[in-house]
Amino acid sequence: MQNLIMQMLEGTVTSLQVFFLTLLFSLPLGFVVAKGRMSRNFLLRGIVNLYIQIMRGTPLILQLIFVYFAPYYVVGVSYDRFTAVIVAFVLNYSAYFAEIYRSGLQSIEKGQYEASKVLGFSKTHTFFYIVLPQVIKRILPSLGNEVVTLVKDTALAQTIGVSELFRVAQNAASRMFSTMPIFVAGVFYFVMNYIVSKLFDFFEKKLSYYR
């Protein structure tokens, strides 16, 4: 039993690595994608839009397989499975975050930009001090949803053989002829997401001092 918990903790570490690395890259990258999506250049806008549609319109599991195997079939090189997981997750989550950022950015009233302009703020000042704080407040709930989904999505990493929490649990289950490890894994995911939700609740409360 103790042994099982140790193995599952190791699997959890892998899951958490996928989780944090995905956030680390896709949170900022999503912003770049959102900018492209809102670009005035229709070609750029079109390409970015297509990318977002593909990411949202196909299963993440398929994207994982594609990202891992496509380079092998096309140019004959294979690479680290874990890296492939991160690449696929970052590509996928950047698209989702981009749409969240875009809706947030577009929800800021024109008057906020006009007041900033009339008061003489630079574009950077307007963005970082006037627009961004309001965007963050507005997108926090949808961002929270997406992050909770990411915790659960890390289980897909096993598709290309990365042994994260769920794979460890499945292996243990077949070894022990028992579904118990699967339930234990369920508790693990639940606890992680409980923490995530509490964290988002905390930030939402912190930002609830206005409107």
Does 205 participate in binding other proteins (rule CB under 8 A)? no
Contacts 24+ apart (CB under 8 A), 72-77: none
Does 133 participate in binding other proteins (rule CB under 8 A)? yes
Q: Please, which residue, 109 or 198, has the CB nearer to other proteins? A: 109
Q: Please, which residue, 20 or 202, has the CB nearer to other proteins? A: 202
Site string for other proteins, 86-125 (x = CB under 8 A): -----------------------x-xx-xx-xxxxxx--x
**Position among 129, 183, 194, 202 found at the interface with other proteins (CB under 8 A):** 129
Q: Please, which residue, 37 or 138, has the CB nearer to other proteins? A: 138
How many chain residues interact with other proteins (CB under 8 A)? 20
> Both tokens of residue 196?
């995530």
* Interatomic CA distance for residues 54 and 26, integer angstroms: 16
Least distance to other proteins, CB of residue 24, Å: 26
Please count the CA atoms within 13 angstroms of the CA of 151 that sit on its side-chain side.
19
Strand boundaries in 30-187, DSSP class E: none
- Contacts to other proteins from residues 136-195, by CB under 8 A: 137
Q: Which letter, b or e, does each residue of 155-174 get, where b requires 16 or more Cβ atoms within 10 Å of its Cβ?
A: bbbbbbebbbbbbbbbebbe
- In degrees and rounded to multiples of 5, residue 179 shows phi and psi of -85, 0
Q: Can you give the binding site for other proteins, defined by CB under 8 A?
A: 109, 111-112, 114-115, 117-122, 125, 129-130, 133-134, 137, 209-211
